[in-house]
Chain A
Amino acid sequence: MKEKSKKLRATNRSSRDGFSAVLFLSPTMIIFSMFIIMPVLFSFYLSFHNWNMFSSQRDFVGLANYIHMLQSPDFWRVLKNTLVYTLGTVPLSMAVALAVALVLNKKIIGKKFLRTAYFTPVIVSSVAAAVIWRWVFDPNFGLLNHVFRLVGLPTINWLNEPTAAMIALIIMGVWKSLGFNMVLYLAGLQGIPEQYYEAAEMDGAKSHAKFWHITLPLLGPTTFFIMIMSVINSFQVFDIVYVLTQGGPLGATKVLVYYLYENAFKLFNMGYASATAYILFAIVFALTLLQVRYMRSKVHYTV
């Protein structure tokens, strides 16, 4: 009898779940449909139109925005800059992050302090960080050129020469992203069972052999995850470009999102900017799919 009433209540509960779900989900759903779902569709629609957002005239132009973009040397240059930034930042940041994580995983004095130190740039706003770095890169009074003079290297006009400005941006990008990757690597390293190393030691493996044959392969999923995340993030870089170089000199550091920002909010080419946004979306989407696929094939790699 008691069992029955319990069961009755249980079914009663699940039948009312639907109503509750609507209630519980509605705040999020309202915000999402207004500021994510609708904008995504609207943006797609806009990418086939010419519109400055203030006029009542909104012309359908078909694929013209996309064609114009793919034919524009500006777009390709911006894409190339973004790629250079990505290729310059991601591998370097990952390699250093892994090295730091490996050291911090050993017997080191002051681990907590070190972890905090390396992580600090991650939490500081890109704007403030870029203001500081402008000062570090200052050709006359900056810290970097001072060091260059001390060791007898020629000084560099960091932010006013196209190649140097890109290098400066990459240096700052590495500095800013390193700590984040380090934390992920540390977590990955802690997931490797100690027995593997013990077994290898019994077989007489040297430390570099242990690194290449145990650590690195077992960090595979972590590495792949960090790589995809980092590539996605560097394709979306904006803040540090805005403050450090404003896309200059001569457009040498103008990246995809900066280009999008200019087109949308300086020139009000809403259609063209939306098309650019969709290209970015396609790139990010492809990278995410790659990540999901890899995860599916590798989930059971670790024990």
Chain B
Amino acid sequence: MEKRVKNRVAKSVLLHVVIYTGAFLTLAPFLWMVLTSFKGINEILTYPPTWWPKEFRFENYVNAFQAASFGRFYLNTFIIAIACTLGQLVTCSMAAFAFARLRFRGRDALFLLFLGTMMIPGQVTMIPTFIILYWFGWIDSYQALIVPGLASAFGTFLLRQFFLTIPRELEDAAYIDGCSRFGVLWRIILPLSKPALATLAIFIFMYFFNDFLWPLIVVNSEEMRTVQLGLAIFRDRYVTQWDLLMAGSVTSTLPILIVFFFAQKYFIQGITLSGLKE
């Protein structure tokens, strides 16, 4: 009997060791990035590598910001990510309301078509969208980075599923009191959907903050670069300047890490909500 207890303890200890080692390995590249970002280039390029910096050089960050206009890249990224997030919250909740609550001919077929667009890889629409934007004269502008991102099937689907779980009685009462459909959406459905809206907002924001391929295609000038594009080009230019590169990487990951740590719950909720509920 005692042996069994001992066995169980040993097993549990082993599990802890393995799982924490795995977690450390997963986080090691980040830790190393942060620590390296404070080292001088001479310390970086010595063997064997040091973990803890001999001296903390905050100048690396200043230098990185001087070498590339990360401030500007940030401004661009925030403008784009916020515009797309707000835009999608509006368009998606309106469309979701139509699919969840309004009765009109061809609704289910249209919804199916909508869902169908989710399986079109972005690379298929990328080329023609680029050409269309080129004809509009929108290449290298905020419009090119924002307008195609103002609606999404994913967001509409997510919100529709959530709206369907809200009981109808409240709305019926509102309609009897003469409330319009827009009023019902605005005053009843949306306030009840705050968790779903928060989840969606975080998803969209993260998506546009991290998006790389689209800015790579439509941006030419330095002042229109986003953080990710700026970092990629920065890497091409300062291939071996690891002090600057690491400072740049930290700069471009920090905000998203902060957002994630505070809003984790919504994020994980969103994945399970969209992934497993059919």
Interface residue ranges, A against B (CB under 8 Å): 6, 9, 13-14, 17-18, 20-21, 24-25, 27-28, 31-32, 34-40, 42-43, 46, 53, 96, 100, 103-104, 106-110, 113-121, 123-129, 131-136, 140-141, 143, 146, 149, 175, 178-180, 183-184, 187-188, 191, 222, 225, 229, 232, 236, 238-239, 242-243, 257, 260-261, 264-265, 270, 273-274, 277-278, 280-281, 284-285, 288, 295, 299
Contacts and interface: CB of A to CB of B under 8 A. Distances in A.
19 contacts: A6-B176, A18-B104, A36-B125, A40-B128, A100-B19, A116-B264, A121-B26, A125-B252, A131-B231, A131-B248, A136-B32, A184-B275, A222-B276, A238-B212, A239-B212, A274-B127, A277-B121, A281-B124, A299-B278
Contact of A132 (B12, B33, B105, B257): B33
Given A24-B98, A141-B242, A183-B268, 19 more contacts: A17-B103, A18-B105, A32-B114, A32-B151, A38-B128, A39-B126, A40-B128, A42-B132, A43-B124, A131-B231, A131-B235, A131-B248, A141-B47, A184-B271, A229-B275, A257-B123, A257-B213, A277-B126, A288-B119
Interface of B: 12, 15-16, 18-20, 22-23, 26-30, 32-33, 36, 44-49, 90-92, 94-95, 97-98, 102-105, 107, 110, 114, 117, 119-132, 134, 147-148, 150-151, 153, 156, 175-176, 181, 185, 206, 209-210, 212-213, 216-217, 227-229, 231-232, 235, 242, 245-246, 248-249, 252-253, 256-257, 260-261, 264, 267-268, 271-272, 275-276, 278
A129 B246 CA distance: 11
Contacts of B92: 28
A43 B127 contact: yes
Contacts of B46: 141
Nearest to B95: A28
Contacts of A146: 47-49
A143 B32 contact: yes
Nearest to A26: B94
A31 B156 CA distance: 13
Given A42-B131, A43-B125, A108-B16, A239 B148 contact: no
B22 A118 contact: yes
A40 B125 contact: yes
A139 B168 CA distance: 63
B209 A125 contact: yes
Given A120-B30, A136-B29, A107 B124 contact: no
A7 to B, nearest CB: 12
A215 B206 CA distance: 33
Consensus secondary structure, chain B interface: helix
Contacts of B217: 261, 265
Nearest to B256: A123
Contact of A118 (B26, B150, B176, B261): B26
B229 to A, nearest CB: 8
A141 B44 contact: yes
